[in-house]
Structures are given as C-alpha cells and as structure tokens.
Chain A
C-alpha cells in the first residue's frame, strides 16, 4: 500500500495508514479501495468512511467497523448525476433536487437498481445518493469508477466526527484494526450532516399502480367542504343497509388537499361521532368507535395495509373504513371485494378554488 506520510507509532501499531490530504492521497485511496479496504475521508460535512459499494466483502467489513445493527442501509457517494443513474432511477423530484443541490450536503433517496453489494440498499430497495461538494472525494470516486459508501466515520451512535481524534478516541482496538487508510484534512468546520430527502413517495410509478375501473359511475360537482361532507353522508346512507352483514369501505382517491379528510368528516357526522375527525397522515390510522380512518400515503407497499390491521377491521361487519390515497393500495383493497362493500370515491380539483369533481362507484 501507499507510503505512510504521517510518521507515528500509532499508525504503525495499528497496521493502518494515515495520510495528509495531498495530491497523492487520491491514488493511495483508490488503491486501497480497489483491494476492498476501508478508508476514512473528509467531506464538506463530516469525516466519512468508505468502501467500494459493489464489493460485498468490503461492505461486511464496514458493517463490522460501524457495529451496525441489522438492516441499516448506507448512502453512497458518486461523482456526478450520470454515475448516479447507473445505480438508481431518478424521477422528476429527484432530478429537481440534483439540479438545485448537488454537489452539496444533500442525500437524495431513490429507487435502486440493485447494482450495489447486499446491505447497501435499504430493505425496500431504495438507495441514498450523495455528490459531495468536496474535490478529493469526487476525484477518488471518478478514478475508482464505482461509488463508495458515504456514512459517517463514527461507529453507530457515537460522536459526529469532525477530526480524526473524534473517531480514534471513540472506537475499540478491534475497530481500529479494520481501518486501512485515513485521509487527514485536519479539523473540519462543524457543519451539520447532510439533509436526507426521500423522493420515492413522489414516484409516479407507485401512484399509477392499480388503475381502478368502476362498475357504475356517478359524478357530482361539490362547491364547498360542506357539499363534500354532505355527499359522504348521502353515500353512506345509500349503503348503510349492508352494515351488520358486511362492513363498508370508502376508498378515497385524490390529490393532496382534494378533500379526502373532509369526506371522512362527513362520515363522522352521519355516524354521530362527536370527536373531531383529523388527518391521519402522521398516525396512519385513527379510530373513532365504528369508524376507522386510514391514510396509506406513507406506506411503502400495499401489504402494509394488512399489517395495519385492515383485515381485522373488516371482520367486524359493523365497521366503516375510510382509506385515503386508496389508489396506492388498490390491489390490496380489491382482494376483499367479496367480504366488504367497497365504494371507490375519486375527488378531483375543479375550475374554481372550492370546486371538486367527485365521482364514485362500487368496486
């Protein structure tokens, strides 16, 4: 391996090299990374620890160094957007973010192409990409022609590393023995870690899933929140007779701000629920007696609807369930067509600010 530029007992004892940041550091780092080594390097935020992201052995070594609990993925550093696109699918949101922020202290999470070593992408197959605004890292990655992991150089839950001593003072001898090279750029300015943005929720591929066809189609124009609530009331009354034999599911589809929660407020009123019906986006599910109000926008896959207890809910033949962003779990809902009355409600923005076109039909 490269020449040890910083003389010192410590470096020799540990069998690791510490080099000052200099023109040769790039070559040294690339050589070490190619051999599956573990390199600590400076960035515009913190010191990071990198291994070749496509080398499974190296990633295992990194896991051991980081003392990572099971299932924690790593972000990777690439040289430019072109390289990023070899490893992830970029949607429009991601492209916007790349244009505005990268290179820079932002990690953009996208759907991965599964071209990195196991354990780098998340369990859901997403991958966080960073293009550091730091010449040394860009040069290393360019020369290596493969992304390197971009995780902070501390072990999980330890102090944020702004200088090499922050790292070395907080790791065990065993961890030290796993390090192959440290590129020392002295004390870094205390910047926050990068901001992480998940763009996969905006992926049209997910939102398009399960185009819904209705048996009978009805449509009205709602002119106000009250109109929307009233429609909910009337629709409920139309199907109310089934309660006791089968539960009723209102699958609500519509853009943000369309009035899905307003519709559910109408259901709350007709069911005589005194409590305020509020948005379930954060909590995923809010139950008010016989009414369950679910928001699946944050769910990553349709199976999670069942984890939320949807099955158990519709075993109760007196239950009324409202599901916001139903189009994301259309398949999962469709499965229960025989067991529950499913009313699909689509809400679209109309011409005037308060106008909504609402269509519905039984599934």
Chain B
C-alpha cells in the first residue's frame, strides 16, 4: 500500500511516500536546511512559510519516490500534537489531495509517528513492547500493548529532553538549537567533572520526567564557573548530559522492573534518538534485561519528518481507520497518544 504522508506539526514542512512500512521518499524542509546544507537555523514561526513550501515539498516527495501520483493508495496527515496554525496547513493540503485523487485520508498522531519510526525497516518484535519518544517537544515512555493500543507510563511535567539539551547548549553560549553541538562538546569532556542533581531522584514511584530543576542548577553552576574555557564547556556539557540521561535510565529501570509483563523489545524515536551517548546508555541498560533496542535506521527518521507518519498510517490503514468525513477532520494541537 502506497501512502503520501504530510507533517507540518511545527517548524518543519515534511512530506513522504511510503509503501507499507518502506520509505520511498522522505522530504523535510527544515529551518536547518533553509540555508541548505551549510545554512542557518531559523526558528522563525511561519504558517506562511509552510504554505509557501507545502506544494514544493509534496511534489518533491512524489517525484523522488518515482511513483505516479495516481498509484498512491491513501493520503496521511499529522493532526496533532503541534502548533495549530502549522498543523492546519498540512491538514488542508491533505484534504485537498485526498479529494482531488479520490483517496482515503488517514489522520495520524505525530507522537505515534515518532514511536513507530524504527519499524520503517523490517524488525522482529513481539508484543507487548516499550517505546521511548525523546524530542524537542515530547518525552514519553510508552507501553505498546499492540500497535494502536498504548499506555503512557511516564511523561515530562515541564521541559522535554530535547528542549533541555537545546537550552543547556544555549546557556553555554553555543546558540540554539544546540543539542547536537552539545553532544560534540560532551564527547571531549569529563561527565564526572561536575555533579549536577539527577532529576526527581527522590520520587518513589518513577512515573514522570522533569528537567526544570536540572536546568536551574545548570544556570547556577555556569554562573559560578564563568568565565568559561573550552575545557569547562566540554566538562559542563558532558556533566549535563550525564545527569539528563541518568534520569531517563532511572525512570526506565523502575518502570521495567515494576511491569508485570515480559518485555523483549523497545522502540526509540524522536530527535534525541540521534544522540549516540543516549543510545549507548539505553543499549547497556536494556541488554542487561534481555530487551532489544530498536532505533530508526536513518538520522532523518529521528527528527520531525513525514515518513514516520506514513509508517504509522500504514498500520492504521490495516485496521481500516480512515477519516469518515473530511470536513469534520480538525487539528488537535494537544492530541494525546492514549
């Protein structure tokens, strides 16, 4: 089944063509590629930008897939969560295309897209599974009873992990969004150089994530350490990542230990899934518990993109979950996974 998928949930304008779970094309016009490969990151807000780009991106997704538009079986679109005025652009384009080509329409939850993104490559897995979505806007630990049936075991009460990493980078004077560059610095630093508070270590029942306390402690620490040298920046970056990831590890081990279920697989998705240190730490934690970690096969599938939406839509199509009335399909900025 071939699906044309669209995602305009926030900064990125994205479209993709997928066939079952296989990605045929995955076009993302992000702020980062706005100056092309060497350009600038511009977090400028832009419904207008989405509108200007959407046709180009959709056309590009179709032409790159080398499939004729009329061979596409369904149109999928992210309806939430996200920025309302941005979501709207993708939704109206999807409705227009579905009507024009007389194709069914599938409404997708952006987080489900991230969650299922590792399945874009064939995997052996069995239910129940676990899922961890770590991005700029979300941090959720999820029980996947089966595809489409989810239970959120833990989520953030303030900042998302990706947001915390970006802000830490900005506090170190590394610009924004600097999560990726923070990781580069951290590689040269000593994670034990500074001791930062592990978030919510006092929680007896570990069912939430929080990064505001760590962020504040980091602000204070940086004030104390100024002026910053490159060595200090590296050590601070490494120590911040250490505390931020330790928190994830703590919540995951608590939850896994307390689940009355045998789990053998965990899906990792979202932009922070690109962080190699986080991957290594999770790998270690999970291997000891006999759980296989599945990560998206390409970097592009981690950040916001539409191929993941196509993958999630394929499973919905299998369950015959199509939009019944196009007119009633509306954006859901605060859409929940479960």
Give A residues with C-beta under 8 Å from B. Answer: 45-46, 48, 66, 68-75, 92-93, 96-97, 100, 107-109, 122-124, 126-128, 130, 150-152, 156-157, 160, 193-199, 201-202, 255-257, 259, 261-262, 275-276, 278-279, 281-288, 298-300, 304, 307-309, 349, 353
Contact = CB atoms under 8 A, between A and B. Distances in A.
Contacts of B178: 197
Contacts of B170: 201-202, 256
A284 B160 contact: no
Interface string B43-60: 111111000110010001
Given A150-B38, A195-B184, A262 B212 contact: yes
- Chain A interface main SS type: loop
A307 B45 contact: yes
B84 interface: yes
A286 B159 contact: no
B41 A198 contact: yes
Interface stretch (B29-37, B66-74, B198-206): B29-37
B227 to A, nearest CB: 10
Contact of A278 (B157, B162, B180): B157
Given A196-B38, A283-B81, A309-B84, 6 more contacts: A196-B39, A256-B170, A256-B215, A257-B218, A282-B163, A307-B85
A279 B334 CA distance: 13
A157 B60 contact: yes
Contact of B42 (A93, A198, A281, A287): A198
A152 B37 contact: yes
Nearest to A261: B158
B167 interface: yes
B136 A282 contact: yes
B251 to A, nearest CB: 15
B212 A107 contact: no
B258 interface: no
B158 A279 contact: yes
A166 to B, nearest CB: 13
A278 B230 CA distance: 33
Nearest to A151: B36
B212 A282 contact: no
Contacts of A126: 40, 42
Interface in B207-234: 212, 215-220, 228, 230, 233
B128 interface: no
Contacts of A308: 45, 85
A46 B37 CA distance: 10
Contacts of A285: 83-84, 333
B41 A197 contact: yes
B137 A195 contact: no
A174 B36 CA distance: 21
A246 B315 CA distance: 47
Contacts of A194: 37-38
Nearest to B336: A275
Given A198-B40, A198-B176, A307 B47 contact: yes
A99 to B, nearest CB: 9
Contact of B53 (A69, A196, A282): A69
B84 A152 contact: no
Contact of A69 (B42, B56, B159, B212): B56
Contacts of B290: none
A356 to B, nearest CB: 10
B92 interface: no
Nearest to B208: A276
Contacts of A309: 84-85
B24 to A, nearest CB: 14
A48 B81 contact: no
Given A69-B53, A157-B27, A353-B217, A198 B175 contact: yes
Contact of A93 (B44, B85, B173, B217): B173
26 contacts: A68-B36, A72-B35, A93-B173, A96-B228, A100-B233, A108-B175, A127-B40, A150-B38, A157-B60, A196-B40, A197-B178, A198-B176, A199-B175, A201-B170, A257-B218, A257-B219, A278-B157, A278-B158, A281-B163, A284-B83, A286-B333, A287-B84, A287-B333, A298-B176, A299-B43, A300-B42
Given A152-B36, A197-B174, A276 B44 contact: no
A353 B35 contact: no
B190 interface: no
B171 interface: yes
Task: Pick the most buried of B48, B53, B158: most chain A CB atoms within 10 A of its CB.
Answer: B158
Interface in B134-182: 135-137, 155-160, 162-163, 167, 170-171, 173-176, 178, 180-181
A69 B13 CA distance: 13
A298 B31 CA distance: 12
B272 to A, nearest CB: 12
Interface in B101-160: 135-137, 155-160
Nearest to A95: B173
Given A151-B36, A202-B173, A279 B163 contact: yes
Contacts of B155: 276
